[in-house]
Structure 1
């Protein structure tokens, strides 16, 4: 069996490739130059580096490789769809055909383009199920006060996620301090910390009908480290629909900073 991977930024592509190797599945990785982690070369049976936003070239190469399935993992900045720097004619034509440039619209459009060349975009959770925590406390204590704050924050996070605005909100004292937009999770947290001061809570949620093939919420040690440095109190995220990377490192950092981490 052979499976493809379109790899963006971050550790998820690496985790996917490691899991595929453990299952003795051959992989062909299409890695985005300047974005994907070069370490993926160690774990992929075959790697093809492609320039970002060259959709036409990617589809031609994909078809040539004769694979039947592909996973899409890793981050690509959404603001790139606004600047259009480096886009080829196929990518520009593709964007012009969309009703809007919301992340979900772009992603589903890309899936459609891939499937037009006969390749199925798969749900990667079959390979990454171990990274989707069940409900429960990862570290710390979920006090009654924090539970109420989490309920408030997660309700807002789910609303903005369903509107395809972002996945993250920063709250404090049942007040929305910052909402993630095109700037991304880290900048949202930084902005929230600047406005709220110490003791803020970060909440991250999936869309109501989250397509697990793409753009699944992800948190990890980098997220917790940032919250700790900015003197936040907790990270709350949606269980079973959020990838948790580096769980042991997350617990270590949370312990160092006294941060509560909970999947709800």
Structure 2
């Protein structure tokens, strides 16, 4: 694994609190210069005050982003934060992106991100794991937060884990919602939150959400993440147990997650 360059690292910054969490961890680790590629209608504007250089792009402006990185002397970058699925497929691609996409046999999040990684490498820019500096935010197996639950609910989580692993293997989605051994919803193009809302509505309370990594997960991108918004969405949908894959899921906004789990009576488990 390539060691992080503490002199200069770039963020490819999506939405949510992931970018700011990474910035805080990178500063703590001693990174001296942080550069951000931000995206209109995705990245929080506040990120501009946390980094040393920032430029704003539309999704699909790969050539322009690489030129910005080279101008800033960047040789390593990290993808932090999601881009909404609809924006990944509503691209306004520049020439470099068009050429990259023409080479792809399939067009899904994994192949698109893999193609971006390959284009970065052509210009001497290494894409680091998305968990760089954040390894201690990946929970170990067992109860993580919220109320203790009965064995029956743990069994439901383990059942959902098996289903989610198969769904992710087929590149359909990494999240499922189950109840009493029945699959209520499987994540697809709509994204995690919409799948949770749909499954929770069908379950009418007492449902379990399970989120896993893909088999042979590429840790450079699309790493499973749970944060405060996940807890709020689950609770609002009638999902009161969330199970994630131990050692493969980032827990962002940990203190707020713990508080919300207690307040909203949502249990968070990590399955090994």
What band does the TM-score fall into relative to the shorter chain? Answer: over 0.9
1:151 aligns with 2:171: no
Runs of at least 5 residues in structure 1 that lack an aligned partner in the other structure: none
Q: Who is 2:46 aligned against?
A: 39
RMSD: 1.4
Mapping of residues 131-142 of structure 1, within 5 Å: 131-139=137-145, 140-142=147-149
Q: Who is 1:51 aligned against?
A: 58
The number of residue pairs the alignment matches comes to: 263
Q: Who is 1:99 aligned against?
A: 105
Q: Is the 8 A contact 2:209 2:243 kept in 1?
A: yes
Q: Is the 8 A contact 2:38 2:54 kept in 1?
A: yes
Q: CA separation of 1:79/1:33 partners in 2, compared to 1, >3 Å: closer, same or farther?
A: closer
Shift of 1:231: 2.0
Match of 2:192 among 180, 185, 194: 185
Match of 2:252 among 245, 248, 258: 245
1:111 aligns with 2:132: no
Runs of at least 5 residues in structure 2 that lack an aligned partner in the other structure: 1-6
1:258 aligns with 2:230: no
Mapping of residues 58-73 of structure 1, within 5 Å: 58-73=65-80
Shift of 1:92: 2.5
Q: How big is each residue's C-alpha offset from its partner over 1:149-199, in whole Å with a ceiling of 9 and x where there is no partner?
A: 011000111111122211110001111110001111100011111222111
Q: Is the 8 A contact 1:21 1:43 kept in 2?
A: no
1:4 aligns with 2:16: no
Secondary structure of 1:206's counterpart equals coil
TM-score, normalised to structure 2, is 0.92
Q: Who is 2:224 aligned against?
A: 217
Q: Is the 8 A contact 1:32 1:52 kept in 2?
A: yes
Q: CA separation of 1:19/1:81 partners in 2, compared to 1, >3 Å: closer, same or farther?
A: closer
Runs of 4 or more consecutive aligned structure 1 residues displaced over 4 Å after TM superposition: none
Q: How big is each residue's C-alpha offset from its partner over 1:206-255, in whole Å with a ceiling of 9 and x where there is no partner?
A: 01111111110011111111111222220001111111112222222221
CA distance in 1, matches of 2:208, 2:232: 14
Match of 2:179 among 172, 188, 191: 172
TM-score, normalised to structure 1, is 0.94
